[in-house]
């Protein structure tokens, strides 16, 4: 794979928090934000506002909760976390349209977007 192909594929498969907010504002019914992080409650206290929480390890059993007529935007912890990429593969294998939120919840919070308590 050439560098050009890599970066084109990366842009096609990901969306930044800023681009997500802009796209979701323009087409609010097009996207569903899904938090796929696995962690005990004392570690995972918050999620992006409006996100659905389906831990990666539960995703295969909970696919029926996700609409196929929306683009599913998955996220995990940070750029070093690969749970969102693993979730994207599961979703793509099951015919969902999916994007990975670049930078995960860390990027979401770094740009000052709203979060909410889990629980």
Task: Say whether 111 sits in a helix, a strand or coil.
Answer: coil
Whether the per-residue pLDDT at 5 is higher than 70: the answer is: yes
Condensed to tens digits (0 to 9), the pLDDT of residues 55-105 reads 999 999 999 999 999 999 999 999 889 999 999 999 999 999 999 999 999
Q: Quick one: which of 16, 7, 23, 29 has its CA closest to 101?
A: 16
Tokens describing residue 30: 């097009």
Condensed to tens digits (0 to 9), the pLDDT of residues 29-52 reads 999 999 999 988 788 888 999 999
Name the band, by pLDDT with cuts 50, 70 and 90, for residue 21: very high
Q: Cα(82)–Cα(79) distance, rounded to whole angstroms?
A: 8
Predicted local distance difference test score (pLDDT) of residue 119: 66
């Amino acid at each position: 794979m050439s560098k050009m192909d890599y970066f084109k594929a990366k842009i096609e498969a990901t969306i930044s928090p800023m681009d997500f907010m802009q796209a979701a504002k323009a087409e609010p019914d097009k996207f569903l934000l899904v938090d796929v992080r696995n962690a005990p409650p004392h570690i995972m206290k918050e999620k992006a506002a409006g996100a659905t929480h389906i831990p990666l390890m539960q995703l295969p059993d909970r696919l029926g909760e996700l609409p196929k007529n929306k683009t599913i935007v998955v996220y995990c912890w940070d750029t070093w976390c690969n749970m969102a990429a693993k979730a994207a593969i599961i979703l793509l294998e099951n015919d969902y349209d999916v994007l990975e939120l670049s930078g995960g919840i860390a990027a979401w919070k770094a740009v000052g977007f709203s979060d909410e308590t889990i629980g």
